[in-house]
Structure formats: structure tokens, C-alpha cells
Amino acid sequence: MRIVRVSYRVPPMPGGLERHVESLTRKQVAQGHQVTMAFRHGSVVPRGATRLPLRATTLSRALAPASDRLAFGAEAAAAVRRLRAGPGSPGVDLVHLHGDHLDASLLGPVCRRLGVPLYLTVHGALSQRHPRLAAHAFKHVAAFIALGSATAADLVARGVDERRVLTMSSGLELSAMPSPAGPPPRDPGLIVSVGALDPVKNHGLLIETFHELARTRPTLRLVIAGDGPERDRLARLAAAGPGVELAGPLSRTDVYRLVRRAEVFVLASRRLSGKGEGVPTAALEALALGTPVVVSSEASLEPVVTAGEVYRTFRSGSTADAVRVLGGVLDDEPARNTMSALGARAASALDWSLVAERVENWYRVGRDSGVPLPAAARPYGSGSRR
């Protein structure tokens, strides 16, 4: 297939979306597909893929002062039009957008006029702004991939037929990760979190939770890997007591080593009006490394991995509930051992080769955008509501 992949950002820009785009492109090229990438920020184009050049247009210049994302969408749409209809053009079989309604509002109508199906992967909870624009933009999308149940529910709330939504997660590069086999070299009392120092990650609540737990557990340590706009505020919160380290950005190898040593991995993410979590890759990687995982209800791994014995959740935004759940896991070694074994087993089904195959099957299912998808076509069996 001739695939155009559109993403506002790609590596080395940090983030789970960016890594997803790179890994999926690499796997699809290895499967023999022709992948052309359109992006604004970043530089990584996997070997065998090509970059689609973007040019400013009258529309993009008009949109730029209000939103560079919209300007990018206009330029990507114009580039797809040239690629599809230009003299000697190799053509396009489908466009795969990684974004939301802003990008789709520009790309969707163009793809519809060209007769090119548009697939949209939404990587996190949708913005609560512009509901009418979102509902209109999504009418031009042939099929959707939602990373997580909450994201899928957001799409349905915007009028998307749930039969057009594949709910899944990003893949994992399991071959590049340390094996969870054998007894893990745990550091007693070490709690680890990985993610941008961004308000949506809610690291402040985790630091407050840690200080509360450390009052009766003086050997606890908390290490947060990542960087971002909240670093100064979080440093002030961390200074309220000993034991908290803001490690800054780390290489993937160093992140894996850190998480592998932790007794518990924690994500305290919350939903904001403009964005929220999908299925956080960092938590899936922690499972793959055999580290017990605790996440907030807004960082749930559903439906990819079911909570319970595999991982634990606390009510998002509640320090008291975080203290209760995290403290319970820290105090229960047999439960941690069970979580470690079950988590590694669950993550083994998320290798990128399997996830890329799932995406390709979904391309086939969504090819005819005029016919409702049968329930049997949904790989997880029950659409976006679970």
C-alpha cells in the first residue's frame, strides 16, 4: 500500500505519540508498504520511508496567526492533493493521520474529494473545546483508532459510530527491552514515574502522595524521569521533604534500567480541558519490564490490559486514594510478585509487529467508508465501549 502518514510532531521530539509514529512507520516499511511522512516538528524518517515536502499556501498563511496546527493541516492537505493528482504522481492508497479534529478538519474534506480514505489515530482524550467542529470534521474520516477506552468514548460522544472505532494501544519494542525473566534487581522502597513534567501528568499529586507515605516509611525514594514546563514548581514541592529526585530526561536504556529497579511504577495523570491520557506507553513498558504498576483512573490501560491483579488504579486527583492504593502495594510483597508476573505476560502481546498487523487489518475493514462495520470486525470484540 501507498500510505501517507501525517503527524504534527515526530522524533526526536519527545512523547509517546512521536515514538508511536516512528515505530509504526518502521514496521510498515518492513512489511513492504510505501510510507511517506508529512510533519512540522522533528526530523526522524525511518529508513525506507520518505518525507512529503510541505509548502505554505494562501490558506495556511491565513490560519498561521491563530493556530500553527491548523496551518500545518492546510499544508498537509495541499501536499496530499499534489501527491494524488500531480503529473507522474505515484498516487495514494490511504492517509493515516495522527492527531485530532483540528488536523482532520483540513485533511478530511480533501481526502473525501480525492476518494482517498482517511484514517485517524487519536492518542489521548479529546479536547473538550470545539465539539461542533469535531463532530463535523469526523464525518470525513473513514475509520478511527483510539488509544484507550476513554479516547474511544470521547469519539462516540462526538457522534462517531462506535463500529468505526478500533480501540487499542501503542506497541512495544520488546526486543529492545531488558527481559523480565529471573529475579528483578529491585531497590527496596524505590518508586518511579516516567513522563513529561506537564500538568496533565499530575506529578505534583504523586509528590504529595510520596511525602505522606514517607512519614511512616522513611526508606522510600521517588524518582521522576522527564522534563517540561512544571519542573520548577515540582522542585519546590519535592523540597518539602527528603527522598524525591527529578532525574530530568533520560535515554530509553537508562529509563528501562531505572524502571526495572523500582518496586512500583506510578502514573498520576489527570484529564484537563484541553487534553488527557490515552493508554500510556510508559506504563505498558513498566509491565513488560515486570515492574508492578499503579496508575490513576485517567491513565487506565483499559481495554488493552485489565486492572485488578495485573495493575492497580486510584481515583484521579485524590491524594488520599493514591496513598491508600500505593501504600497497599508497597506493603504487600506477594501482591507485587503477582503483579510483576501477570504484567510481563500481558505486555508480551503488545509487540509492535503484532500491533502493526492489527492496524493493517483495520485498514482493510475501514476501506469502504460508506458501509457500517460489522461487530465481528472489531478486533477487541465490542467496539469502543468496554
Q: Where are the domains of the chain?
A: 2-171+352-377, 175-349
Euclidean distance between CA atoms 231 and 236, whole angstroms: 9
Mind listing the pLDDT tens digit for each residue in 47-61?
999 999 999 999 999
| Cell 526508606 found at | 219
pLDDT at residue 63 greater than cutoff 90? yes
Please indicate whether the domains covering 2-171+352-377 and 175-349 agree at the CATH topology level. Answer: yes
Least confidently predicted of 28-32, 252-256, 304-308: 304-308
Alpha carbons 335 and 356: distance in angstroms, whole number: 33
Distance between CA atoms of residues 264 and 201, nearest Å: 17
The pTM score is: 0.86
Q: What is the DSSP letter of 172?
A: B
Class of domain 2-171+352-377: alpha beta
**Burial of 54 per CB tally in 10 Å (0-12, 13-18, 19+):** middle
Look-up of cell digits 524518582: 223
Q: pLDDT digit string (tens) for 330-356?
A: 999 999 999 999 999 999 889 999 999
Measured distance CA(201)–CA(13) in Å, rounded: 18
Residue 16 CA to residue 167 CA, distance in Å, equals 17
Q: What is the pLDDT of residues 264-306, one digit of tens each?
A: 999 999 988 767 888 999 999 999 999 999 999 998 888 888 7
For 175-349, CATH number out of 2.40.50.140, 3.40.50.300, 3.40.50.880, 3.40.50.2000 equals 3.40.50.2000
Which residues are within 8 A (CB) of 61 and not within 5 positions of it... i.e. 6 or more apart? Answer: 71
What is the C-alpha separation between 73 and 52, in angstroms, rounded?
13
* Average pLDDT of the residues in 9-16: 92
3-class SS of residue 104: helix
By residue count, the chain amounts to 386
User: Residue 84's pLDDT band (boundaries 50, 70, 90)?
Assistant: confident
Handedness of CA 142, 148, 154, 159 (dihedral sign): positive
Q: Is 152 exposed, middle or buried, given 0-12, 13-18 or 19+ CB atoms closer than 10 A?
A: buried
Any idea what the Cα angle at residue 285 is, between residues 281 and 290, rounded to 5°? 150
Please give the Cα distance from 292 to 306 (Å, whole number): 14
Mind listing the pLDDT tens digit for each residue in 307-327?
Answer: 778 999 999 999 999 999 999
pLDDT of residue 201: 95
* Identity of the residue numbered 61: R
Average pLDDT for 6-32: 95
Q: Which amino acid is at 82?
A: R
Give the residues across from 296 on adjacent strands.
314
Residue 173 predicted with pLDDT over 60: yes
Task: Average the pLDDT over 79-105 and give the result.
Answer: 84
Question: Residue 317: how many CA atoms within 13 Å on its side-chain side?
Answer: 5
Q: Is the pLDDT of residue 385 over 70?
A: no
Instruction: Spell out the residues 6+ positions from residue 366 whose beta carbon is closer than 8 angstroms to its own.
Output: 117, 119, 142, 143, 164, 373
Predicted pLDDT of residue 184: 67
Q: Check residue 126 and report its DSSP letter.
A: P
